[in-house]
Amino acid sequence: MIAALIPARNEASWIEAVVANLSVQTRQPDRIIVISDNSTDDTETLARRAGAEVWESVDNRHKKAGALNQALERLLTELDDSDYVFIQDADTMPAPCWLEVALAWSASNPGAVISGRYASPPTGRSLLRIVQENEFARDGRAINRRGNRTRIVVGTSALFPVATLRAVVRARLDGTLPGPRVGLVYSTESITEDYELTLALKTLGFKTLSPPECDAVTDVMPTVPALWRQRIRWQRGAFTDLRMYGLTRVTAWYYAAQASWVFGMLTVVLIGLQITLVVSVTGHFSPAPIWIGTLPLFIGHRVISVQRTGAKGMLVAAALVPETAYDFFRYAVYLTCAWKAVSGKETQW
């Protein structure tokens, strides 16, 4: 059995289409459950009309993680270890074969969690959206090169074996995992519940896989302030979760990834200082021929790595300037979160 679980708060504009999309999967879920978290619009009415079960959260103070925990606490008592829970966001459209492919991969990798991949909607592509889409396209390419192993189980769409979820609950209760000893799937101590759950799964020895066919269409952040808030939460949550887990065999890669960001920023700063110093002393800057000669290779690599986003994405990659500006935006996010972590300032969900 597959039970699909959709956390939703005021998603009236999406919920009917999302439920309908699950209903026409090549392998349809046996149950579709919408967990409504303090919705004040017609989310619940529309979800029922579309054919979903509707559960309501009760006195939830822990946002999405809290709503999911309440639903899973009930749902896991109704399922067998051999069953599955599919969790997806209420503004996401998994590819028609998503569940069929994920089940096949799960059968070949017992206990593994199958994560979706980002796919962009076909319309409304501003420059800000394109640079985000290019970022996710490169992430997908990296997953391919790792043999479809993903570093993060995304909240947009993921298939969990029930036995794996129960293992997480037991590990939280017996202290195998860091944090409070509570029988919950998602940590309510983390502002990035998907990131923390991924660390928990890997700590317990479970694989996290992302097949290329498991696309899930979901929108990116439409404005710079919204993107800033999202990335601040993601980065600060990563800092907090890694500090909680400490340096282990599992977290070593994640610590290395953070270190690479620091190295990348320092490299940019040093290059900028060098150019400034040369210009101030000589009055001009003439890059060495080797750098000019390798520039086409650099641009070509950036273009090829975003082929999936189409002609617009490839043109933006070739232009360099938009993505360079986006890189500096991400550096600013990283430095802001590092300062918050050092100063002890809190980041809200």
Q: Is the pLDDT of residue 28 over 90?
A: yes
Q: Is the pLDDT of residue 138 over 60?
A: yes
Range in 66-80, 120-134, 244-258 with the lowest mean pLDDT: 120-134
- CA nearest to 214, candidates 105, 95, 316: 95
Q: Is the pLDDT of residue 346 over 70?
A: no
Q: Is the pLDDT of residue 349 over 60?
A: no
Amino acid letter at 314?
M
Q: Where are the domains of the chain?
A: 2-224, 252-343
pLDDT tier, 348 (very low <50, low <70, confident <90, very high otherwise):
low
Q: Is 172 exposed, middle or buried (0-12, 13-18, 19+ CB in 10 A)?
A: buried
CATH code of the region 2-224: 3.90.550.10
- Residue-level pLDDT at 29: 97
Q: Is the pLDDT of residue 232 over 90?
A: yes
Please report how the helices 321-343 and 224-245 are oriented relative to each other, as an axis angle in degrees rounded to 10. Answer: 50
Q: Is the pLDDT of residue 6 over 70?
A: yes
Range in 68-72, 160-164, 250-254, 279-283 with the lowest mean pLDDT: 279-283
Q: Is the pLDDT of residue 88 over 90?
A: yes
Strands 215-217, 93-94: pairing is: antiparallel
Query: 230: which residues sit within 8 A by CB, 6+ positions away?
Result: 221
Average pLDDT over residues 316-340: 92
| Distance separating alpha carbons of residues 119 and 219, to the nearest angstrom | 8
In sign, the C-alpha dihedral spanning 230, 233, 236, 237 is: negative
| Distance separating alpha carbons of residues 223 and 208, to the nearest angstrom | 31
CA angle 146, 5, 190 (to 5 degrees): 65
Q: Is the pLDDT of residue 124 over 80?
A: no
- CA nearest to 332, candidates 269, 254, 240: 269
Q: Is the pLDDT of residue 85 over 90?
A: yes
- Residue-level pLDDT at 125: 74
- Residue-level pLDDT at 274: 83
| Distance separating alpha carbons of residues 13 and 94, to the nearest angstrom | 17
Buried b (16+ CB within 10 A) or exposed e, 60-97: bebbbbbbbbbbbeebbeebeeebbbbbbbbbbbbbeb
